[in-house]
Each structure stands twice: as structure tokens, then as C-alpha cells.
Amino acid sequence: MDDTRRKFLKKAGYASLGISCALPLLDAKLLAMSEETGTHEAAAKKQLAMVIDIKKCQNKQLVDAAANACHTVHNVPTITDAKGNINKEEEVKWIWTEKFANTFPEQVHARLERSILDEDVVVLCNHCSRPPCVRVCPTQATWKRDTDGIVMMDMHRCIGCRYCMAACPYGARSFNWNEPRKFLEKGRGIVGEYPTRTKGVVEKCTFCADRLSDGLEPACVEAANKVPGGKDALVFGDLSDPNSKVNLILNKKHTICRKVGLGTGPNIYYII
């Protein structure tokens, strides 16, 4: 065996030794990760969540009230085209409805009852436990808040690269393709204190972080509860508190989440 080959083999041996030493560390990390994804997460950390009753939300009036309340308090513009129709391609929305089949593609099978397929399901940001949007953001303009698990958005830091839109598996994010204030002025006008955005940034539901700090419920929950028959159509609460309303429902009812197979850990639960 010539010298260089021997040297090479020796080096290769050390390298593999190094790798095998590192493996237990990797193992530990993987184990930790797989535990995280366990069905019953450690309840220690506060995580805000919402339970949505799909049947109760078939009431169009209720859904409109919830979406309107949200979009009004957050100054979300209604983007229209030259003729005044909704511009679907550039729409900005925080909470809206999608057909059951589009919301829960894995739940759809050929024999599913037609009326269920056509159901309108309320959708919004899932405030995922392992949010891909946060993982990809190059500026930490979107991040998961430690204190309550809300996936926050800093519209002043966002550079508008839209990587988060590519990463979110739920279509929860909207980009301001146009100047939003222009459309607010054309529409309902600028309401209240919530800062309006500039063009070129991404936005989404923040679980009403601003209202929560004032001791209020999210605007959509409050509005839905006021509609006749809307009691508990949307329920909001803390998963780490065993006595919270969301936990009481989750312990009793059959609920599902969107695209659980992806491992993002959504925190919006649906009563089917």
C-alpha cells in the first residue's frame, strides 16, 4: 500500500469516526423533534388557538360579520379592478371562506356527501406550531411569539420577497401588490388606529394581537358571537390552560386540522 493511499484511508477513518461521534447528537435532536410532533404536546407553553364550528359557520351573515369586523379594524383594503369588481388576483384578506374540498383536500373522497364538499369553511392563518413561513423569512419580519404562540408580522421590516407566501401551505398570506391606502380611501375609509400598510409588504391575520393586549377577544370571534345562532361558532383560547374553552371543546368533540401530514402543527381546529 503506497503512502498517499494509506494517509488517505487514515484520514477517511478519522472522518467517519467524527461523523459517528456526531450521530448521537443528531439522534438526540431528531428525537426531540419527533417528540415535539407528538399528539399531546407539552402543555407548558402558552399557545393561543381557535376552534371553528363548520356547521354553525354555514350562516353567511355570520361569516360576513366576522370577516368584516376583522378587515375593518385592521384596515384591510378591498382591492377592486377598474370596473369596481373584486380583483381576485391581488386580493388582501385575513379571514375568509374556502370550499371544504379546498380546505381539507386529504379528507375528500369520491363518495363524500355533495353538501359537505360544497360547505364554506372559514380559513385564516393557523398560527402553526412549527411555521414554515417563519422558517424561511430572511429578515425575521415574521416570527413566532414566545409568550402566546402568535405568528406575528412586522410590516416595517418586511422586504416583500414573498418567500413566506411560497412556504405557507395554507395560502394564508397576502401581498400588497398595489398601494392599499388608495383602495381604503375608495372603500370604507381608514378606520381607527390600526396602522395602514404600504405597498410591497406581506400581511396576514395576527390573532388580533393588538386587541388581546387591551383585554379584548379577536374581532372575528366577538362579531360572530353577536350574530343570532352564532354563539361559539368561533371559540378562542389558550391550549396550555386545561380549563380553557378551547380545551373543553377539543376534549369532547371530533375536531380536525388542515394538512396535518405536513407537520406544521396548525392551531385552528375545526368541528366537522
Partner 1 sequence: MLEHAFKGSKNYWLLLGFWGIIIAMGAGAYAVQLRDGLTITGMSRDVSWGFYISQFTFMVGVAASAVMVVLPYYLHDHKAFAKTVILGEFVAVPAVLTCMLFIFVDMGQPARVLNVILHPTLHSVMFWDMSVLMGYLVLNLLIGTITLDCERKGKHYPHWLKFFIYLSIPWAVSIHTVTAFLYAGLEGRPFWMTAILAPRFLASAFATGPSLLIILAVIVRKISKFDPGEKAIRTLATIVTYSMLINLFFFLVEAFTSIYSDMPHHLHAFEYMFVGLHENGVTYDVLVPWMRAGMVFSFITGFLMLFPGIRWNLKVVPYVCVFIICGTWIEKGLGLVITGFIPSTLGHITEYVPTAPELMVTFGIYAIGAFVLTVLYKIIIGVRERRAGYGADAQ
The residue ranges that bind ligand SF4 (CB under 6 A) are: 125-128, 131-133, 151, 168, 170, 172-173, 204, 264
Please, which of residues 192-211 interact with partner 1 by CB under 8 A? Answer: 198-202
Identify how many contiguous H helices and E strands the chain contains and give both numbers. Answer: 10, 10
Question: Which residue's CB is nearer to ligand SF4, number 96 or number 188?
Answer: 96
Q: Name the minimum Å distance from CB 232 to ligand SF4.
A: 23
Distance of closest approach, residue 117 Cβ to ligand SF4, in angstroms: 23
Distance CA 49, CA 225 (A): 17
**Which of ligand SF4, partner 1, none does 263 bind, CB closer than 5 to 8 A by kind?**
partner 1
In terms of Cβ atoms closer than 10 Å to its own Cβ (0-12, 13-18, 19+), residue 121 is buried
Assign 42 to helix, strand or coil: coil
C-alpha cell at 18: 467524527
Count of residues binding partner 1 (CB under 8 A)? 47
Residue 126, amino acid: N
CA dist 49 and 204 (Å) reads 16
139 binds, among partner 1, ligand SF4, none (CB under 5 to 8 A by kind): partner 1
Dihedral sign of CA atoms 201, 206, 210, 216 in order: positive
Under rule CB under 8 A, residue 91 binds partner 1 = yes
Applying the rule CB under 8 A, the residues between 148 and 187 that interact with partner 1 are 157-163, 165-171, 174-179
Give the residue among 102, 95, 86 at the shortest CA–CA distance from 65.
Answer: 95
DSSP 57: G
245 belongs to the binding site for partner 1 (CB under 8 A):
no
Cβ nearer to partner 1, comparing 66 with 141: 141
Q: Look at residue 131 and give the partner it binds from partner 1, ligand SF4, none, a contact being a CB closer than 5 to 8 Å depending on partner kind.
A: ligand SF4
